[in-house]
Chain A
């Protein structure tokens, strides 16, 4: 067993949704969630559809706002609390420490795939040339043909967009990676390429939290499982 110290610690996390158009009733989704993840680990969130796996992952990224509890992230050799954090703190954590692969790519009008992928690295101070080189390498590893690189991904297929998205999230070598069904719309060959990249990242010391519906993918990358129960289910 590894004895690495965690880089992500969650405790007593609660998140409910209040939809005002539906009478303002609170739908509790996360109740007293606790977990921690160390470098080199990949924690897979498992549970039925609607259980709150994506809600948990998005809360870890600071995209959803939990009502209470704590999400602490190791950032610049310090612990940073993300629940209730100021926007600039969350943004800095995202810029340097934590990457997120969502299910959908948000296309940016008129920006080509290569630059979409290179952008996070440029924002960290790399030269555009170095960032583009690395972006090309990743797109190549993910099987995106070179003729597509200059084109804005808006017209790409679902699977191509998803791989662009993955490349964009892997380019910066974030110490913490959050993956929401990174292989959902991929064929087997491309799925295997993604699995290989994620595994390499984990072996290089990234701490990963992911949702993988595909059991083969989960078995190939996860080191531990974390159950997420349906809201309303008794713990």
Chain B
């Protein structure tokens, strides 16, 4: 608990002449869930992808306190080591579940693949763990051998979460995990995520445009506008006592959360 798990320093990323995210710095401590909110195009996904090693920043560094290798500079690692890190110590929940799942193989294989990536080899126990996780995310066990192509959007998203959490990652990145789902499905998913965060002491970076989701799931919040972080603090501080004009506008323009 005396070193940050993830540190960003001066992270900047441009696309052509346009700056998508600029000079972002923060520390994420073990057990913390950090929310990133802001309007469409403010740079949330760009920042998340930089943090998760999927997109190289033009400037700045991201360091991660890895279980396997101590502190590493995420973007200085070789592609192979970065992939290994992502497979073994991280999870990434995409907004679009189709991008985070292998649509051509069964649900069980989707979950099992992650277990094999961290060294599991025993077929019976992999299948058992896959079943346990399917139950945990409230998917009927008789769907274990079905492909995600036959799943609804909400089920796919829950499967994607199971696939990512089954290996008990130390850090999870999530991009709008409840986006595009109807309200009751969202509530179940939120409840699930909330329980998992508590139970596994997850550390996570969560992008959302929904302040209600942020209130429920995150400890801290960063508010982005035009690629910059304009406000940063405890989630309830930022939502109840917003300081920046943009945050005040954001909080004022929604129903009470």
Contacts and interface: CB of A to CB of B under 8 A. Distances in A.
Contact of A65 (B188, B191, B243, B249): B243
A88 B32 contact: yes
B143 interface: no
Given A20-B245, A20-B248, A21-B249, A90 B234 contact: yes
Interface stretch (B50-58, B65-73, B79-87, B213-221): B213-221
B191 A88 contact: no
Contacts of A63: 234, 236-237, 240-241
Number of contact residues on B: which range applies?
20 to 34
Interface of B: 29, 32, 187-188, 190-191, 194, 198, 215-216, 219-220, 233-234, 236-237, 240-241, 243-245, 248-249, 252
28 contacts: A17-B241, A19-B248, A20-B249, A21-B252, A24-B245, A58-B241, A62-B237, A63-B234, A63-B236, A64-B237, A64-B240, A65-B237, A65-B241, A65-B243, A87-B219, A87-B220, A87-B233, A88-B29, A90-B234, A91-B219, A106-B215, A108-B194, A108-B216, A109-B187, A110-B187, A110-B191, A122-B198, A123-B198
Contacts, number: 53
Shortest 3 CB-CB distances between A and B: which pairs? A20-B245, A109-B187, A110-B191
Nearest to A18: B243
Q: Which of A17, A106, A109 counts the most B-chain CB atoms under 10 A from its CB?
A: A109
Contacts of B29: 88
Interface of A: 17-21, 24, 58, 62-65, 87-88, 90-91, 106, 108-111, 122-123
Nearest to B27: A86
